[in-house]
Amino acid sequence: MRDGPRPGRYCFPVPWEIKAFSRSVGGLSPASVRAYSRDAERFAAWAGRGGAEGPADVDRITLRRYLAHLATRRYSKATISRTAASLRSYFGWCARRGLVGADPSARLSAPSPDSRLPRVLGHAELDHLMEAPPGSTNRASAQRDRRDDAVLELLYGSGIRVAELCGLDVDDVDLARRVVTVTGKGSKQRQVLIHERCAEAVRTWLDGPRSTMADGTGPAAALFYNQRRNRLGPRDVRRILDRRSPVPTHPHALRHTFATHLLDGGADLRVVQELLGHASLQTTQVYTHVSKERLLAVYSGTHPRA
């Protein structure tokens, strides 16, 4: 099944004001802003082929037809759901700007994405991932290994998102208190705790490889650098997992594993919600289902009458 429409370049007359809409979207990550803008562009291109010259020519039926069009093209439910959210945001903005008389996207619904339990790493798999590779005589490889150790320990030790980790500055980390200040979705800040092993891995990176890599050519404040002395990015983190994990593993799996292991250990759900930075407790509750699945697997595999 296709993940989403293929990206393209579109040129629109002024009435659609896609660029102005893009500049107005606030409180979202840069990736979300790009996705919302692309979704609005693709809809405008589709509607334009049907004769619409601007948002004022769009009604609720047109929007529903577009979502149905995506479904017939076998786009995933997640893509269609996100597109509906993008169009609600765009036409809500158009209504506030007076570009439409009434918001045609009001109460526009879309199929809910398929609910999938997040993948959780087993203890053996986690140990293999976190275990540092044999010492390298190559200085660049040794520096990279110390950075990778700190990145993986932070992802699993604090449960922060990959984008949050990549956005960390040196001043965001208080190793003495073992606290990291994270800027999450909607530019909301929260403090997360890290354990001593995690703090030691970050300290080793800061005192050793990073201090030599901070040569003034890259961003001085960034906590992590890539090999080009730029701030570490999500793709760089994915490459770290590709080097360390024997099977394909997404970096977000470490966040899932962090939350599940806390709940398995008896942590309160609201504490986990706070640590993960979830605005809604309902988002955190998916991990209770994961824990139940794990308990069932253990019971089925160990009880003599199971």
In the DSSP assignment, the letter for residue 180 is E
Q: How far is the C-alpha of 29 from the C-alpha of 89, rounded, in Å?
A: 15
Catalytic residue among 144, 147, 161, 244: 161
CB atoms within 10 A of CB 87: 22
Classify 120 as helix, strand or coil. coil
- Asked about 88 being catalytic, the answer comes back as no
**Do 58 and 104 meet the contact criterion of CB atoms below 8 Å apart?**
yes
Q: How far is the C-alpha of 99 from the C-alpha of 103, rounded, in Å?
A: 10
The structure tokens 């990959």 sit at 162
- Asked about 287 being catalytic, the answer comes back as yes
- Asked about 252 being catalytic, the answer comes back as yes
Can you list the positions of beta strands (E) in the chain?
Answer: 173-174, 179-183, 189-193
**Do 191 and 181 meet the contact criterion of CB atoms below 8 Å apart?**
yes
Catalytic residue among 42, 82, 255, 261: 255
Residues 6+ apart with CB under 8 A from 40: 16, 18, 21, 22, 86, 87, 90
Catalytic residue among 144, 244, 261, 278: 278
- Asked about 156 being catalytic, the answer comes back as no
- Asked about 64 being catalytic, the answer comes back as no
**Do 28 and 187 meet the contact criterion of CB atoms below 8 Å apart?**
no
Catalytic residue among 185, 210, 235, 239: 185
- Asked about 185 being catalytic, the answer comes back as yes
Q: How far is the C-alpha of 5 from the C-alpha of 219, rounded, in Å?
A: 35
Catalytically annotated residues: 161, 185, 252, 255, 278, 287
